[in-house]
């Protein structure tokens, strides 16, 4: 090998050796700047800062953990979950893995808490996933009291949710029984209405027909139809009205009008007019029955789909350094240390605030804190 080539190789080696500390310091500097933003509550800017650090050195795990904390603060739980999972899978630092799995449990618990008002089954699934994450924490560190406590809280929360699910099922069963009874009543009304129309037709063929009796029967049938309509309206929740049930009630309202008209015409011996109103009343009752049948089929389909589908502690202190304790402290992004019970309390307060905002007459007030 020539002397000149040897000099070039040595120069390249020297450059690569001297470049590494500068590169590491650049990464550490980016992390420190991002942590300052995190501590100031500028979580979006902090996440961008951690991206700069990862661009400098993609193999470093700690900035990814801190970035996950930032997304947790931004309530972007899915991104936080993805990052915590990656940290837990790739890091060889078991303390960092413990924290990542712990915070992963927090994310799923928080997601479950948010779903309590919309999808109870999904809420339970998220809570169960959170428990699984905290159990893994205890596998790593059996002395982690907060993980153990969070499992307790999550189990109690799941029990409450399951009680709600069972209550909903009981209410659904009761509603289904009421709907079936109403459908049976409507079928009976329809048969009676058609029977009366048949009586009117037969009476027309008699030499001296008496329509008074048919008129009385028609008037009594109108009263029974009115009762069924009222039952149907009582079953319909005014705050969450079912369109099909409303439609059925409207059809019965039309039917009672036609029945009343038929009774009055028959009383005046207007058989043709009475028969026409009777036939129209029967059609309206039939429409009401169809609306209820459609509603029942729709509810059964939704229940089938649901059957087929079947913040605890806030993130812990981010872990930073790999070498010097001072650099660890500089690069840590502080996170409040709360419990699962406090997350539940916070979610309840936020729910109450949302209800206040939606209630009529609510006005913003000046904050005095």
pLDDT in tens, 135-187: 999 999 999 999 999 999 999 999 988 888 888 888 878 887 888 888 899 99
Do 249 and 236 meet the contact criterion of CB atoms below 8 Å apart? yes
CATH of the domain at 185: 1.20.120
- Contact between residue 320 and residue 53 where contact means Cβ atoms under 8 Å apart: no
Q: Which helix (H) or strand (E) element contains residue 60?
A: none
Q: Cα–Cα distance between 275 and 285 in angstroms, integer?
A: 15
Does pLDDT of 95 surpass 90? yes
Q: What is the pLDDT of residue 172?
A: 79
Calpha distance 95→108 (Å, rounded): 20
Can you give the residue range of the structural domain that contains 256? 170-309
The pLDDT score that the predictor gives to residue 180 is 86
Quick one: 312 exposed, middle or buried, by C-beta within 10 A (0-12, 13-18, 19+)? buried
| Three-state secondary-structure class, residue 47 | helix
C-alpha 151: how far from chain center: 22
Give CA–CA dist 47/161, Å, rounded: 34
Given a cut of 80, whether residue 231 has pLDDT beyond it is: yes
Tell me if 116 is assigned to some domain.
Answer: no
Q: Any idea which residue has 């040595």 for tokens?
A: 10
> 109 CB contacts (<8 Å, ≥6 apart)?
126, 127, 130, 150, 154, 311, 312, 340, 343
Is 234 part of a structural domain of the chain?
yes
In the numeric block, the tokens 């206040």 are attached to 356
Q: Would you say the C-alpha torsion 250, 255, 258, 259 has a positive or negative sign?
A: negative
Q: Is residue 86 part of a domain?
A: no
Residue 278 inside a domain? The answer is: yes
Tell me whether residue 40 is exposed, middle or buried, using C-beta atoms within 10 angstroms of its C-beta: 0 to 12, 13 to 18, 19 or more.
exposed
Query: Could you give the angle at the alpha carbon of 167 between the alpha carbons of 247 and 160, nearest 5°?
Result: 135
Residue 303's pLDDT is 57
Cα-based distances in Å from 207 to 154, 203, 274: 81, 8, 18
In a domain, 122, yes or no: no
Residue 123: φ, ψ to 5°: -60, -45
pTM over 0.75: no
What DSSP character marks residue 337?
-
Check pLDDT > 80 for residue 240.
no
- Return the structure tokens found at 290: 């169809």
In total, how many domains does the chain have? Answer: 1
Determine, yes or no, domain membership for 232: yes
Candidate from 110-119, 188-197, 262-271, 343-352 with smallest mean pLDDT: 343-352
Per the structure block, which two tokens stand in for 211? 């329509």
Instruction: Look at residue 198 and tell me if it is in a domain.
Output: yes
CB-based contact 147:104 (threshold 8 Å): no
Pairwise CA distance, residues 132 & 102, whole Å: 10
Residue 328 tokens read as 């660890």
């Amino acid at each position: 090998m020539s002397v000149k080539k040897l000099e070039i190789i040595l120069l390249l080696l020297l450059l690569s050796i001297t470049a590494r500390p500068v590169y590491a310091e650049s990464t550490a500097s980016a992390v420190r700047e991002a942590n300052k933003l995190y501590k100031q509550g500028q979580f979006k800017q902090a996440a961008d800062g951690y991206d700069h650090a990862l661009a400098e050195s993609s193999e470093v795990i700690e900035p990814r953990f801190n970035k996950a904390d930032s997304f947790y603060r931004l309530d972007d739980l899915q991104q936080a979950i993805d990052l915590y999972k990656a940290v837990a899978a790739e890091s060889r630092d078991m303390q960092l893995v413990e924290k990542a799995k712990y915070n992963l449990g927090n994310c799923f618990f928080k997601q479950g808490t948010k779903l309590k008002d919309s999808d109870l089954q999904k809420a339970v699934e998220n809570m169960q996933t959170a428990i699984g994450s905290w159990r893994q924490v205890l596998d790593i560190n059996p002395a982690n009291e907060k993980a153990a406590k969070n499992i307790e809280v999550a189990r109690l929360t799941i029990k409450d949710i399951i009680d709600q699910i069972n209550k909903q099922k009981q209410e659904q069963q009761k509603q289904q029984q009421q709907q079936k009874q109403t459908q049976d009543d409507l079928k009976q009304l329809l048969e009676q209405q058609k029977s009366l129309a048949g009586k009117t037709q037969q009476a027309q063929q008699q030499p001296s027909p008496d329509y008074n009796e048919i008129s009385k029967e028609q008037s009594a049938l109108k009263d029974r139809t009115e009762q069924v309509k009222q039952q149907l309206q009582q079953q319909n929740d005014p705050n969450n009205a079912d369109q099909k049930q409303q439609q059925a009630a409207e059809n019965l309202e039309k039917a009672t009008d036609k029945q009343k008209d038929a009774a009055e015409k028959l009383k005046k011996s207007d058989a043709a007019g009475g028969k026409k109103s009777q036939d129209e009343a029967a059609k309206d009752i039939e429409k009401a029955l169809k609306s209820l049948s459609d509603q029942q089929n729709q509810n059964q389909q939704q229940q089938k789909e649901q059957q087929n589908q079947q913040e605890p502690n806030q993130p812990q202190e981010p872990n930073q350094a790999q070498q010097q304790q001072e650099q660890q402290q500089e690069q840590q992004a502080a996170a409040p240390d709360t419990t699962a019970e406090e997350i539940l309390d916070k979610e309840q307060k936020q729910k109450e605030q949302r209800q206040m905002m939606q209630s009529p007459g609510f006005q913003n007030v000046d904050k005095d804190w």
